[in-house]
Amino acid sequence: MAPLLFLLQLWATVEAATTDNTKTIPCEASSFIDPVVPGARIISITTEERRNFDIPGVPKLLEPMYDLNFCDVQVYLTHPGTNDKVLVKTWLPLTPDLWNDRFQATGGGGWATGLLDLALGPALASGYAASSTDGGHPVDYFNADWTLNDDKTVNWDLLQNFGTRSLADLIYVGKSLTEQYYGQQPRYSYWNGCSQGGRQGYAVAQRYPDLIDGVLAVAPALRFPAVTMSFLWPNLVMKETGTVVSNCEFNWFASKALEECDILDGAKDGVIGDPEACTFDPRRLVGQKLECSGVEIEVTETMAEVVYRVHEGPSTPFGAKVFPSLTYGTSFSTFVNATTNPDGIRTLNDPGLDVFARTILLKKSDKFDISKLTSTEFWSLWVQTNEDYGWIMDADNSDMSAFRDAGGKLLSWHGTNDDVIPHMTTVKHRQRVERELGGAKAVDEFFRLFLAPGVKHCAFGNGAVPKDPLETLRGWVEKGEAPDTLTAETKNENNEIVTRDLCRYPRTSRYLGVGDVNRASSWTCEGSDEKEEPSMEKKTFRDEL
């Protein structure tokens, strides 16, 4: 029997060596069996072979992709007792040589559980088998009407899909289809998302720690309900003080903050390197003059106080801070829609950011007017938001020991000039995880945070943006190469390439004093690995939660 066994093994080796990895794998629905998804039932599986498929680009964000060849598998599933119908779309490279042996689960944005083609395209182009889901509702970043039933009651089933359940579903489905198509399990599986997708990445790590090897979570909306309510804070401050500060005036204060704090990292490069080191106070500018719409304006005490309170972030009438705000030097144009006419009259317009309050809390109330929102109403809505919806949408559980013990790695980065989600929300979470799990050094073994000075929400801004953080995460997961820096790049106003090595938190970047300021080699990371904890007296209300 031994010679026969040897011949069979030899034949198998030769057969494997001569397999044509460039041969198209049939893309047929009959080739797939229903994936096993806990708590769900598969409704249907359809497939379509796509060749030379093009995806249009998104200006400044996503380059167009051409000639993609893949098996498009669309699985519809439902959760018994919910009457939902959820799409999980999976794209599989048509030939083994186009597949990198890995699976990528992709996140959503805004009120969309998944981005579908916009997220699947880049993943596929990089060699991944990838999945995305619609969560059972329309894909619309700015509309949450799907959260309500026809009778205006909350659709808790779809909210659960959005908050947690569909995240696991798409991983179960995607990994199963990948294994069936290629005849082998993916060697490694990753999550990739920004904003809502970043929140989802943390949620996967916290709630489904065994499903994924590595999570790339960018600019995460960790406390999504609180983030949406914080959008209303600037309008409330202006109403309470009776003083409207226009976008032009906010931008002037931002420029003054940049003038004062840009040099703190050793170089004038149009970026505040460490916002926490910036002690800019708008109240020191009272009496100075600026120009908006051709009108000369003098900074008043109430105007400066508005800017100060807005940057301090939501604070209770008793002075307890409950949520961070945007850093000095960051534009408030996302939150504030106030103009100044040639006569110097300021008008506060609706910024259109009351989706959560109007749709979910007030059930699409036609009577809700953000310009008339009182402090009492705001804090009532704030409490209702967090009490009723935080449990299903928040992803800020500081006990991430299950993810650590499963061997997972979380790489997160956040722009310090994020004009949608304050970067300090991610910093505060990281600090709470350190307190929970043994300090910075222990947490760095599985969770590393990088701040990107000058970068806005997910991209853009004056700062250097990480070039390929997913590749860095792969090196950490697959080779044990824990990153101390992230390679980043942008172009300045003169269209010159600017490179930086973003520092692992809590270290910050500092110019060495010699060399080209546009080159990463002229900068170094300084500071200790342990961030000094604030005293008990200085800790905020949220820190104590």
The residues that are catalytic are 195, 418, 457
The 3 state secondary structure assigned to 510-540 is EECCCCCCCCHHHEEEECCCCCCCCCHHHCC
Amino acid at 528: S
Token representation of residue 384: 């209702």
Give 347: exposed, middle or buried? Use CB within 10 Å, 0-12, 13-18, 19+: exposed
Strand 86-93 with 41-55, pairing: unpaired
SS3 for 126? Answer: coil
Sequence-distant (6+) residues with CB within 8 A of 153 are none
Counting every residue written for the chain, the total comes to 545
Check whether the bond before 506 is cis (ω within 30° of 0): yes
Question: Hey, what are 379's tokens?
Answer: 């804090």
Sign of the torsion formed by the C-alpha atoms of 195, 200, 206 and 210: negative
Distance CA 386, CA 223 (A): 9
Cβ atoms of 450 and 486 within 8 Å: the answer is yes
CA distances from 170 to 35, 188, 189 (A): 10, 16, 12
CA–CA gap between residue 211 and residue 105 (Å, rounded)? 10
Q: CA-CA distance, 15 to 19, in Å (whole number)?
A: 6
Amino acid at 154: V
| Count of CB atoms situated within 10 Å of the CB of 494 | 7
- Could you give the 3-state DSSP secondary structure of residue 11? helix
Q: Where are the beta strands (DSSP E) in 109-182?
A: 129-133
* Paired sense of beta strands 447-452 and 409-415, if any: parallel
Residues 474-482: contacts with CB under 8 Å, at least 24 apart? 474/102, 474/188, 474/190, 474/214, 476/214, 476/409, 476/411, 476/448, 477/188, 477/190, 477/213, 477/214, 477/409, 478/188, 482/444, 482/445, 482/448
CA angle 105, 220, 322 (to 5 degrees): 150
Decide: residue 178, CB within 10 A, 0-12 exposed, 13-18 middle, 19+ buried: buried
